Chain A
């Protein structure tokens, strides 16, 4: 199971890097989304996959899954949700303002104008 997860995570990172390196701002944002998905899966895997065991030790249960990675992932998901939403709004605003979503046309600062 861990091996499969490693491949999934690697694939997500690969796709994320590919997208982030592209020119379109929207693709870049989707790339950052995939990157954080990969990171979340990584936490889950690194915490040890507990199978079907409950996260909290019940009466009679022999094993239990580590509840901490799940809490961490939830926090990280909430944060990446907020950041992605903000980033999308910013991308939209800058598209309106600069009339382009091509990141290579966004070089330079005020002085060049």
Chain B
């Protein structure tokens, strides 16, 4: 296995395009073409990277030609390659959708560079093999997300973004503190090397404390149970394309970081760390379900569904066997796709009705049957009705749960699907059935088409992901093997060039 710069391209290309998009802010055609071009090119490189990882195994490169534990290593394994590809795929649709939805003022004020830098950060965080570099990429994506969330500067947005920034600044400080503690114990920052050192000292108590600290840090970003409080109000303030990007990607970066640290570093005291993770995951699902059923605001309903999904994925991770990890990976990719699609669809509903309050909507089915059907498909996909995309992931997670002996909690996960279904079907019942209601504003047909096309395509992709899961399984198998057995990752990074 050779040192290889290729895996950096999905990070560098968005970065490069972000820079050139900082020029010519007023020229919309230039901005739009080049952002699509940039994401398109990155997506192609990400796809070829995915197949390269599939055929040739884990790819890595160490910056500056330093020997391995000393330089910053970037590692592309199956997990990160899959997530990078999904990220770019979603970004492509979000940008396309944004053409019809985001206001001109925003488009002319660093909206596209912001998206490019967020992609740089997200892809970098998925790819890096160095714990401090993970922090740096987190900051890159956070800085870009600060820009995107305040863009426009409406009153509600300012209120929401102050909370968002404050929470993230504190969690960043906690991240630095945690890394400092970890560094003082193991004396290295390379993730593979940390795993080796922790295995050597057999995870004493202090490492378990650090594990819980990491859970707090990443849990704040991933929105797990006691730490999800900031998510609904902050996200609801953002405009729909930005909300889509945040909802589909940012919490997933936190989930990925928890998955990575809890499958690579802290695997020697499962009865404490992973049981804690399981309890928190279930509490997260409960909290998310309550939120999703309590609100009449379509945005908030879907936002609380993010929280539920985070719980389901982390439950899969906490079971720590190959089947459940495979399910978690399946569900992670599924959730990124379907959440993006759902946010886009409710964006259209909000555009048509001019409100996000369910009680003021109704009867959309007559005028917009296609929207109704696609929403229904997406909702079924989210709840995991076979053969749609959520099914296989949840099935494997529950199967893994049974294998690990967590009988009741697995049954609980299944039951939660019903609540998820109920929460999204409520939107369908209120918005599409019933009598037509007065709608504010006029609906421009061309704008509607521009919003509907990417959303419908993304729903179709998620259906294909579910129906074609047989074809995707080999990739997921690799990812699950790798997560289940840290030595594969460690050997690939530490040995041989």
Which residues of A come within 8 Å of B, CB atoms? 20, 25, 28, 32, 35-36, 38-40, 42-43, 45-48, 68-69, 72, 75-76, 79-80, 82-83, 86-87, 90-91, 93-94, 97-98, 103, 106-111, 113
Contact A97 to B158, CB < 8 A, known contacts A32-B170, A46-B184, A86-B143: yes
Query: Is residue B156 within 8 Å, beta carbon to beta carbon, of the partner chain?
Result: yes
Interface residues on B, range: 35 or more
Residue pair A106, B159 in contact (C-beta under 8 Å): yes
Tell me which of B135, B156, B357 contacts A109 (CB under 8 A).
B156
Residue pair A109, B139 in contact (C-beta under 8 Å): no
Interface members, chain B 123-176 (any A CB < 8 Å): 132, 135-136, 139, 142-143, 146, 150, 153-156, 158-163, 165-166, 169-170, 172-173, 176
* Residues of B close to A110: CB separation below 8 A: 154-156, 236-237
CA A72 to CA B179, docked complex, whole Å: 10
CB distance from A35 to the nearest CB of B (A): 5
Query: Is residue B208 within 8 Å, beta carbon to beta carbon, of the partner chain?
Result: no
* Residues of B close to A43: CB separation below 8 A: 176, 179-180, 183
Best-surrounded residue of B153, B159, B181, B189 (most CB of chain A within 10 A): B159
Question: What are 5 of the A-B contact pairs (CB < 8 Å)?
Answer: A39-B176, A75-B132, A87-B165, A108-B233, A110-B237
Contact A32 to B139, CB < 8 A, known contacts A98-B155, A106-B162: no
CB distance from B210 to the nearest CB of A (A): 11
CB distance from B423 to the nearest CB of A (A): 18
Contact A46 to B136, CB < 8 A, known contacts A25-B162, A98-B158, A106-B162: no
* Residues of B close to A103: CB separation below 8 A: 162
Residue pair A90, B160 in contact (C-beta under 8 Å): no
CA A45 to CA B139, docked complex, whole Å: 23
Residue pair B169, A113 in contact (C-beta under 8 Å): no
Residue pair B173, A109 in contact (C-beta under 8 Å): no
* Residues of B close to A45: CB separation below 8 A: 180
CB distance from A65 to the nearest CB of B (A): 14
Using CB atoms, name the residue of chain A closest to B168. A83
CA A36 to CA B156, docked complex, whole Å: 28
Query: Is residue B177 within 8 Å, beta carbon to beta carbon, of the partner chain?
Result: yes
Tell me which of B143, B154, B189, B297 contacts A111 (CB under 8 A).
B297
Using CB atoms, name the residue of chain A closest to B235. A109
* Residues of B close to A111: CB separation below 8 A: 297, 356-357
CA A87 to CA B172, docked complex, whole Å: 14
* Residues of A close to B162: CB separation below 8 A: 25, 90-91, 94, 103, 106
